[in-house]
Amino acid sequence: MWQLFQFPLCPFSRKVRLLLGEKGVGYDLVRESPWERRDEFLDMNPAGRTPVMVDDKGTVLIDSWAICEFFEETVNKAPMINGTAINRAEIRRLVAWFDEQFFADVVAPLMHERMKKRLIDRLSPDARVLREAMKLALNHLDYTDYLLDHRNWLGGATMSLADLTAAAHISVADYLGGIDWRGHEQTKRWYSGLKSRPSFRPLLSERMEVISPPQHYDKVDF
């Protein structure tokens, strides 16, 4: 059985969990707060980041990209980087888009202001930073609306790792109150479909200590 080291609001761990859920790979959750920089965790992953996966034989998988590619290569069920080489490049472009741009513009500032400041420093969030992150989130939702005007799913004709990655980051931003859904009907419909999937339900029911999500957060109809 795999163990997955993570914390409830880690978007990169959520991405991996959605993939494992779709592929039917079982795992136990181990709570890890990377900001505590626990020695045993740093010995396992010198980068000090979640997610990390470990199995009974001592195999250690590190980094959400490496982990997703590993399970894509070793588990045939529910391929999530699929199609021609060009289709696969488009899926990976969008994974990188959400892991880098959306994370840096939206998720990282929200996590810093609403989670880390509260948990670690006992400080209040900076309203200016929150406003800027929420404004950038709207630009990103304009882009996903545009993609979904032209395609069934973000990465192409079928559901892919692009959708799982986007949903992972959007769900963390939504938990932290950073998403204004008004006026983004295509993305809302797409996200509602993902929320109803069995791979997504367990994530939506979990809570991070001290921080509560908005009312609509775990509802398929929102």
**Residues of the shown chain interacting with its own copies in the complex, contacts defined by CB under 8 A:** 46-47, 59, 61-63, 65-67, 69-70, 73-74, 85-86, 88-90, 92-93, 96-97, 100-101, 143
CA 60 to chain centre: 21
**CA angle (88 as vertex; 85, 91 as ends), nearest 5:** 155
CA 151 to chain centre: 21
Cis omega (within 30 of 0) for bond into 51 = yes
C-beta of 169 vs 195, nearer to its own copies: 169
C-beta of 47 vs 123, nearer to its own copies: 47
CB of 58 to its own copies, least distance (A): 11
CB of 156 to its own copies, least distance (A): 13
Q: How far is CA 64 from CA 19, 99, 119, 149, 217, in A?
A: 10, 10, 24, 28, 24
Residue 156 exposed, middle or buried by CB count within 10 Å (0-12, 13-18, 19+): buried
C-beta of 40 vs 73, nearer to its own copies: 73
CB of 146 to its own copies, least distance (A): 9
CB of 88 to its own copies, least distance (A): 7
C-beta of 66 vs 123, nearer to its own copies: 66
Q: How far apart are CA 172 and CA 185, in angstroms?
A: 19
CB of 81 to its own copies, least distance (A): 9
C-beta of 78 vs 204, nearer to its own copies: 78
**CA angle (81 as vertex; 41, 171 as ends), nearest 5:** 60
